[in-house]
Structures are given as C-alpha cells and as structure tokens.
Homo-oligomer: A and B are copies of this chain.
Amino acid sequence: MNSEIAKKNNVTWFNGYVTRKDREQVHGHKGAVIWFTGLSASGKSTIAHLVEKELHKKGCSTYVLDGDNVRHGLCSDLSFRPEDRAENVRRIGEMVKLFVDAGIIVLTAFISPYLKDRRKVRSLFQYGQFLEIHIDCPVEECAKRDKKGIYEKAKAGIIKNFTGISSPYEPPYSPELVIQSYKEDAKAAAARVIELIEEYKILNRTLEAKK
C-alpha cells in the first residue's frame, strides 16, 4: 500500500554495522532474485530446484520460494482472486527484497500472472538483481503434464480463478530469458539459467577463490 503509516509513526531506517556487501562477502556471491513466471505445471518449480542444486554445488547460499512454502504460511490468508493475487506477489516481492539484502540468491516459482504486479516487484531492485524468466508452455500442454488433475477441476469449474482457464495470464514483454518448456528439457533449461546468472556476474570472483 504505502509507507505513510510508517512515516507517521516515526519508523526510520537504520542500516546497522553489517552491510549487504559484507554479507555477500561471506557468501562469496551477490544477492539476487531469479523470478520464474508461467502457468501452473509449466515447469517453474522443477527448473528452479534444478538451478538451486547447481548453485548449491558451487557453494552458493540459495533459497527457493514457491506456492508450497508461501501459500501455507506468509500468504495463507489470501485467495486466488485478482486483488489477492496482487497482494500475494507484493508480499513475496517485499520478502525477496530482504532475502536479497541478506545476500541470498533467491529462486521464485510463482505463476505471478499480472504484468503490473511483476513490474512493481522489479522496481524494488537495482539493474541485474532481478532476472525474470518466462516459462512459456501452452495451456493444453500444461494440462497434459498436470498429474494432480487440477486443470480438469478448473475446466469443470470446481477450482475458480484458475490461470489459463478462468483467469488471465499476461506474459512478460521483455524478460531476461524465455524457456519454452514444451520444447526444451528441464536440465538444459536449468543450464541456460546458470549461464544467465553468470552473464549478470552474480557469481563473482570471491566465490571462485573460495572453491
């Protein structure tokens, strides 16, 4: 919403003794967010977890945020209506900002269907700290992959506001990377994400020295 309440109540910034740079030094790499967006069952979580595995092998400090660990906790009070989806993405964005400030490489795997909401999250970060990856997969293919039968339920109207069926998905205009997960193997896709992370110099020299 806004920080008027905070201002009125004299909540001000104090940065402490340990800076973000100090924390990045300990981790041997920069803090950043790799933001996956796409339909349900498009492969976001699978790819995010494969990328985490690779980064972990390199000694990085990582974390995956997805519906699994956010919808049961931080956002358990929110539904899938448009205004609640916006609030869901807003809270995730603000939380991720703090993870990135803590020097972590965060991988997020949320449908995050609206352009406007994702843009707001992007605006919280400096250039090169927020890498948006569109997992592009036709809805028919996602429905085929879906093992939980949620697309069936959505088509039958049992699940309401389902992205791609009864709720819109707005693809990004210029994401840092597009993965056509119906054409590309998850492992190959994960390798391309690692290349992107390297291209943006998130894994800097300090890490190389640590290995």
> A residues touching B (Cβ–Cβ < 8 Å)?
1-3, 5-6, 8-14, 16-18, 22-23, 26-27, 45, 49-50, 52-53, 56, 59-74, 76-80, 91, 94-95, 97-99, 101-104, 148, 150, 153, 159
**Sampled A-B contacts (30; CB under 8 Å):** A1-B76, A2-B76, A3-B71, A3-B76, A5-B77, A5-B79, A5-B80, A6-B67, A6-B71, A10-B148, A11-B71, A12-B148, A14-B66, A16-B52, A16-B64, A17-B52, A18-B49, A18-B56, A18-B64, A23-B61, A23-B63, A26-B59, A26-B61, A61-B61, A61-B103, A73-B94, A74-B91, A74-B94, A91-B91, A95-B98
In the complex the two chains form, is A13's CB within 8 Å of B78's CB? Answer: no
In the complex the two chains form, is B49's CB within 8 Å of A1's CB? Answer: no
Nearest Cβ in chain B — how far from A26, in angstroms? 6
Which residue of chain B has the shortest Cβ distance to A1 in the bound complex? B77
Q: Which residues does chain B contribute within 8 Å of A65, judged by CB atoms? A: 98
Instruction: Give the docked Cα–Cα distance between A200 and B27 (Å).
Output: 24
Instruction: Give the docked Cα–Cα distance between A104 and B70 (Å).
Output: 18
Which residue of chain B has the shortest Cβ distance to A93 in the bound complex? B73
Of B8, B11, B62, B101, the residue contacting A18 (CB under 8 A) is B62
Known: A5-B79, A60-B26. A53 touches B17 (CB 8 A): yes
13 extra interchain contacts, Cβ-Cβ under 8 A, other than A9-B80, A22-B56, A62-B102?
A3-B72, A3-B73, A5-B77, A5-B78, A6-B71, A6-B76, A9-B150, A13-B69, A16-B64, A26-B59, A69-B98, A73-B94, A104-B104
Nearest Cβ in chain B — how far from A166, in angstroms? 12
